[in-house]
Amino acid sequence: MIDFIGSVLALVVALGVLIAVHEFGHFWVARRMGVKVLRFSIGFGRPLWSRKGADGTEYVVAAIPLGGYVKMLDEREVEVPEEELDRAFNRKSVARRFAIVAAGPFFNFLFAVFAFWLMFVNGIPGIKPIVGEVVEETPAARADLRPGQQIVAVGGEETPTWDAVFDRLLPKLLLGEPVELTILTDGRTETRQLPLKRAGRDVKPEELVSTIGLRPQRPDLQPVIGEIQAGSPAENAGLQPDDEVVAIAGQPVHDWQSMVEVIRENPGEALTFSLLRNGERIEIEITPARVETEQGAVGRIGAQVKVDPSQVAALTSTWQQGPVEAVGASIGRTWEMSTLTLRMLGEMVIGRVSTESISGPITIARYAKDSAYAGFSRFLSFLAIVSISLGVLNLLPIPVLDGGHLMFYLVEAVKGSPVSETTEAVGQRIGIAIIIALMTLAFYNDLVRLTG
C-alpha cells in the first residue's frame, strides 16, 4: 500500500508540474498576443480549488490530474461583446494563433533544457564504469572488452559513471547504430567499436541494456551487517550491526552478493542465519519479507552491508558539469532525446520497433516513484524525458492535439482561408479515435507489465 501511495504521489507531482508548464506556455503567449484568457485549468473534471485573478482569468486545479487546458475568448464558443472582439482568439492572425498553440510544446522543451541543466549542475553520484563481466557472444565480447577496463567515453562523450554509459548507449541500441567506446586499460586509453544491432521486437524495453553483454564490476563486499531498517524482519529477529553472516540454512556465505541472492530467492520462507558476533557463533531465524517487483516476488530482510568508506570512494564517481558547460550539454541532451523519440515513433508506425515501448500512467507512476527515491537528479532526468515526450506527442499532426491545430493553420496560411467546419469536425473525430486507441494500448501494456 505504501508503495502504491508513493507511486501515485510521484505521478501527481510529475504530471502536475509538466501540465502546468505546458499550459502556462499557451497562457503566457496568448496574453502577449492580446488574447483574453477565461480559464487556466490544471486537471479536468470537478474543481478542487479555484480563484479569479484581477485580470479576469479563473485559475483552477481540478480533480483528474491527467491533463489541463487554457480556455480563451472565442466567438466560435461564446458570444463576444463588441468591445472585446479584438481580444478573441479567432480574430487573431494565423501567425499569432500558431504561436499560441505552439507555445505549449515549446515550453515543454524549455523545461527539459532547464531540468537537464539543473541535473548536470547538481550531479548524479554513481559507480565508476569498470567492466566486471563480459557475456560471450554479445556486442561487448565482439568489441573485445575485458574485465577491469574502464569506459571513459561513449561516442566522444565522457562517462564518469555507469549511469552515464547506459544513458549514452541506450539511444544507439534502440536504433541499432554502432558506437565508439573509449577504454582505459592499465593507464592507457584506446578505442573500441561496439557493434550494436537493432533489438528484436520480442525484447522488452527493460531488457535492452542487458543485451549489450556488459556487467558492472562488483565490489568485494564481505557479508557484514551495517545499517538495519527499523521494523524490518532483520530488526525483529535480533540481527545487529557488525554481525558477520557465515551461513544461511546450512550453506556457507562467502560474500554479500551470495547472501543477497539467497534472501531474494526465499520470500516468506524462514531461514536460519549463522552469525559471528563478538567472536562467538550464534544462530537466529529470519523470514524475508515478500516484495513484489516487475521480475516477480523477492525476499528482503531490511539490512544493508557495512562498507569501508575508502572502498566506496575508490569505486564511486559523480556525473557532473559546471553551470556554463551544462547549458550546452542540456540543450544537446534535449535535442538528442527529442529526435530519438520522434524516430522511435516513426519506427513503431512502420513496424520495426515493438509497440510494447508505449507506457501508460501505471508504468509512468512506477518510474516517477523509483526516480524520486533514487534522488533529486534522477527525478529531474525523469521529468525532462517525460516533458520531451509530451512536447513531441503534442506536435504530432493529429487533430485534437496541438499539432493538429498547427496543421490546420498551415493549410489556412496556404489557401488563404480557414479549413471548413466539416473538415475540422471530421478531423476531430479521427483524432479522438487515434488518442483512444493509443490510450488503450498504453493501458494494455501497463497491465501486461503489472501481471506478467
CA distances in angstroms from 154 to 129, 132, 233, 256, listed in the order given: 11, 18, 42, 31
Q: For residue 251, what is the DSSP state?
A: E
Region for 61 from its dihedrals, namely left if φ exceeds 0, alpha if ψ lies in -120 to 50, beta otherwise: beta
Q: Is 244 a catalytic residue?
A: no
Q: Count other C-beta atoms under 10 Å from residue 130's C-beta.
A: 17
Collapse the DSSP code of 223 into the 3-class scheme (helix H, G, I; strand E, B; otherwise coil) and give the result.
coil
Nearest to 301 by CA among 369, 237, 218, 224: 237
Please list, in sequence order, all residues whose beta carbon lies within 8 angstroms of the beta carbon of residue 137, skipping any fewer than 6 positions away. 213
Cα–Cα separations (whole angstroms), residue 305 to 59, 128, 250: 50, 19, 21
Report the Cα–Cα distance between both ends of the chain, in Å, rounded: 20
Q: Is the dihedral of CA 276, 280, 281, 285 positive or negative?
A: negative
Contact of 46 with 62, CB cutoff 8 Å? yes
The CA distance from 338 to 219, in Å, is 36
Q: Which of 23, 207, 283, 421 is catalytic?
A: 23
Residue-level length of the chain: 452
Contact, 221 vs 255, CB < 8 A?
A: yes
According to DSSP, residue 65 is labeled: E
The set of residues, in sequence order, having a beta carbon less than 8 Å from that of 358 and lying 6+ positions away, is: 348, 438, 441, 442, 445
Gyration radius from the chain CA atoms: 27
Q: What torsion, rounded to 10 degrees, do the Cα atoms 403, 407, 410, 416 define?
A: -140
Q: Which of 247, 251, 258 is nearest to 221 (CA)?
A: 258
* Other residues' Cβ atoms within 10 Å of the Cβ of residue 270: 11
Local structure of residue 177 (DSSP, 8 states): -
For residue 410, how many other CB atoms are within 10 A of its CB? Answer: 13
For the annotated catalytic residues, the residue numbers are 23
